[in-house]
Amino acid sequence: MLLTIDVGNTNITLGVYDNDKLSGTFRMTTKQKRTSDEYGFTICSILEHGGIDSKQIKAVIIASVVPDIMHSLTNAIVKYFGIKPVVVSAGIKTGLRIVTENPKEIGPDRIVDAVAGYELYGGPVIVVDYGTATTYDLIGPNGTFEAGITAPGIETAARSLWGGTAMLPAIEIKKPKSILAKETISSMQAGLVFGAVGETEYIIRKIKEESGYENIKVVATGGLGKIIADETDSIDIYNPELTLQGLRLIYNKNKR
């Protein structure tokens, strides 16, 4: 079995593949500081509780945008699984050609999403990931990573909204019954959700307009992506496991 680990700014997402089949997904928080033993014990416990024997894990691949935890995390994989993990970084085989001005600035998470978007759906394709940041990446018809746009994530915007104001409460992010809000909570929900929909539609329209690509697919992922995908025709496909699938595809390109 292959263990895929996506380390984001907010959550660490684990996926276990039995060949090409995703057997389970699990989440843990990123921001809590852990030792290598705490990482190892926690990951093994999560897998066992999910009905997956940790001894069956034969390979591990990690993509991380949080460098500070990588020493403890990689040591945990070596100590508890007896495996040296593959880490998505410069020099790894992806099948993509990055043609931005500074390819090293493209985060591993975006590379992984781009690989999955292109390999699963073909190119040209726009991949939108609704995470701590909302990212829009353009992959050309021949697998070229051509451009990327970065915007504040929906949860990031929400925390800024209630964290920076004295009278606005923390709320659940969901679509309100109407955009014509009549009280505080639904007014905040309307602004966050429909604001994100408007941002999505405008940025996708501008990418299509300036790239000149016709019949371009738009694939979305990320925890809150489903809410946005359900509200706009600009998104063709919502795939919640896109990043984990990208990690599996990259591992297969690099395994010996």
Q: Are 116 and 245 in contact (CB under 8 A)?
A: yes
Active site residue 68: no
- How far is 154 from 9, CA to CA, in rounded Å? 14
Strand order in the sheet with 97-98: 97-98, 144-152, 133-139, 125-130, 217-221, 237-238
Place of tokens 């024997």: 53
Place of tokens 């990259």: 250
- How far is 249 from 256, CA to CA, in rounded Å? 14
Q: Which residues contact 79 (CB under 8 A, 6 or more apart)?
A: 36, 37, 40
- Catalytic position from the list 109, 113, 129, 137: 109
Write the DSSP symbol of residue 212.
Answer: -
- How far is 197 from 230, CA to CA, in rounded Å? 10
Q: Which helix (H) or strand (E) holds 130?
A: strand 125-130
- Which residues are identified as catalytic? 109
